[in-house]
Structure 1
Amino acid sequence: MFYRVEYGGIFEKVFQRHFFEKRRRLIMTTGEMLHYTNQLKKICSIKSVNLRDAQLANLMTELEIKYKIPLMRDEEFEQKNPFLMQLYRTISELRSL
């Protein structure tokens, strides 16, 4: 249950900013890591190199969108998301392109 308390609107602004920041910087859960690892295993079992590369690229794009992975290397992001970045790099290295 959520109670709304106002002290001149400050609480509401702080809560909204905190909530927005949490939503903007998603952190991978253990269950999500397991899901993506299983997906990666399935993709690696595909015999066709072209199809496998396409599926790996799709998986990378899915991770980029969901977790807002920056295009340029960002040390702060990598320190906050070490497991996500390890998975992302593993997928990248498996591609034959």
Structure 2
Amino acid sequence: MGHKPYTYYEENHHTPVLLRESSEIMSYLWGVDSSTNVTQDLYNCVLNNYGKPEYWGRYLTTVPNAAEGLTQEEIGLLHNSGTKVPTIHPV
């Protein structure tokens, strides 16, 4: 029995994007991104309400009126919790 590829539509786009062409079950990585600095209180709030994030995306630099830039304190807090930190690069 054949399986059709999974597809999804990117926001504001009409072109389908092939996700996987397999009968295997897809796995997910759960994570968070935020425009504000990550504090212990914010991390604990996410942990207690949603579970442990595998990653926490953060803006690399400050974007005026939009996002606070990543700090050394955040890097330490997230790495000590075993959470990866992908950076978001403003355009």
Is TM more than 0.5 here? no
Larger Rg: 1
With structure 2 as the length reference, what TM-score do the two structures score? Answer: 0.24
- Larger fraction in helix: 1
With structure 1 as the length reference, what TM-score do the two structures score? Answer: 0.23
Which one has more relative contact order, counting CA pairs under 8 Å at least 6 apart? 1
